[in-house]
A = this chain, B = another copy of it.
Amino acid sequence: MENPHLDPIFHLLLNGPPRSAREIEARVGLSRVTAAQRIRQLQQGGLIVEGESFASGGGRPARSWRVNPHHRNLIGIDVGEQMARVTLLNLALEPLEDALAEIDLRDDPARTLETLAACAERLARGSMASAPVAGLGIALPAPIDYPQGRIAKPSVMYGWERLDLRNLLRTRLEMPVAMDNDVNLMCLAEQQLHWPDTRHLVFIKAGTGIGCGMITDGHLLRGAFGTSGDIGHIQHSPEPHQLCRCGKQGCIEAHAAGWALARDLQAQGFDCRDAREVMQIYARGTPECRALVNASSRIIGTVAADLVAVLNPEVLVVGGTLSGAGEAMLAGIRERVYQRCLPLATERLQVACARGGDRLGVLGAGMLARARLSEPR
């Protein structure tokens, strides 16, 4: 799916349930002998282990194969504007150890990078007791030139585009490093973990900022220069327009993002600085906050409707801090989508909240690192 060079059997088992040899043959399109031979190789290499046998269907029950989650570990890093999460994961992407680092993307990039690297190094050393770390993935809140493995342009990461982040981390930590945009990776993680059979999925992240990731035909859509999914600065219709942090007027971020809601709550006398605090106030049932979240969900819904019309996904997932509002956030989005899109596009559309929680970013990052695992060479 994401990486064509990956050993197809290992890939299949990494991203799916345990399977019998017969299923594997059918899915990867190999003959029985070859599949059996490869399965044995993977088993001998410790990459996969035998799982529970399937129930018999009248004959000998099939053995099942699954990845050995303890064969290697991975490190996922999710870089936010004020915080980074660094997580040690096993091959099944189960978190083994978490570390949160307070950072500030406006600081000197070299210093922040050192904080992250030190954090990852500590986790890697701790990992040696169970399994060596096979790779690191890093999710960044910036457009990424994916083929080049570089930050495409500053955005909120001023000065970072000059750093060859991937190579610096690779030589420092002595492991393969992969990087991508954070929303893309959240989208990937949500799809792989919760919607494995969905080939067309749109993921909207509504947090401090607003962005989206798209999977079409099973592939993450990255765009020509890594700026795809930049929906935060799409123009919003109803006046009066608010000034956006990008300098323009009336971007949906300026009306519906976490920072905008915090601004509006402050103006109403609340002590509120970011999306997280918006959700805390929301959780208390504060009417002013509920009204703001409802309005926000409808604004996000207008853009969601456009995305549905253009991309025709099967599933629309809403994640990010504001998705903590749950059904309230979905209601406004559903309202606008069903109002504005043609029935053919919506009659089989599912709209849901992300289920990955705070860890979606590191999970996606780990997934990216994992996908690189059995590349040739």
Residues of chain A at the chain B interface (Cβ within 8 Å): 143, 152-153, 155, 199-200, 212, 214, 216-217, 219, 221-231, 233-235, 237, 246, 248, 302, 305-307, 309-314, 340-342, 344-345, 348
* Closest chain B CB from A17 CB (angstroms): 23
Whole-angstrom CA separation of A224 from B199 in the bound complex = 7
Quick one: closest B residue to A345, CB to CB?
A: B227
* Cβ–Cβ contact B342 & A227, under 8 A: yes
Whole-angstrom CA separation of A341 from B232 in the bound complex = 10
* Cβ–Cβ contact A344 & B227, under 8 A: yes
Whole-angstrom CA separation of A368 from B89 in the bound complex = 45
Residues of chain B with a CB closer than 8 A to A341's CB:
230, 233
Dominant secondary structure of chain A at its interface with chain B = loop
Residues of chain B with a CB closer than 8 A to A225's CB:
312, 314, 344-345, 348
Residues of chain B with a CB closer than 8 A to A153's CB:
344
* Cβ–Cβ contact B224 & A314, under 8 A: yes
Question: Can you name 22 A-B residue pairings with CB atoms under 8 Å?
Answer: A199-B224, A200-B223, A214-B310, A217-B219, A217-B221, A219-B219, A221-B221, A223-B313, A226-B312, A228-B311, A230-B312, A230-B341, A230-B342, A231-B309, A233-B341, A233-B342, A234-B309, A234-B340, A235-B237, A235-B302, A237-B237, A306-B306
Q: How many copies does the complex hold?
A: 2
Q: A230-B312, A310-B310 are in contact. List 16 more A-B contacts (CB 8 A).
A: A152-B344, A200-B223, A212-B310, A216-B223, A217-B222, A221-B221, A223-B313, A225-B314, A230-B309, A231-B310, A233-B340, A234-B310, A235-B305, A235-B340, A248-B340, A307-B310
Whole-angstrom CA separation of A306 from B248 in the bound complex = 15
* Cβ–Cβ contact A311 & B223, under 8 A: yes
Residues of chain B with a CB closer than 8 A to A306's CB:
234, 306, 310
Residues of chain B with a CB closer than 8 A to A214's CB:
310
Quick one: closest B residue to A153, CB to CB?
A: B344
* Closest chain B CB from A161 CB (angstroms): 10
Quick one: closest B residue to A313, CB to CB?
A: B224
Whole-angstrom CA separation of A341 from B214 in the bound complex = 19
Residues of chain B with a CB closer than 8 A to A227's CB:
309, 312, 342, 344-345
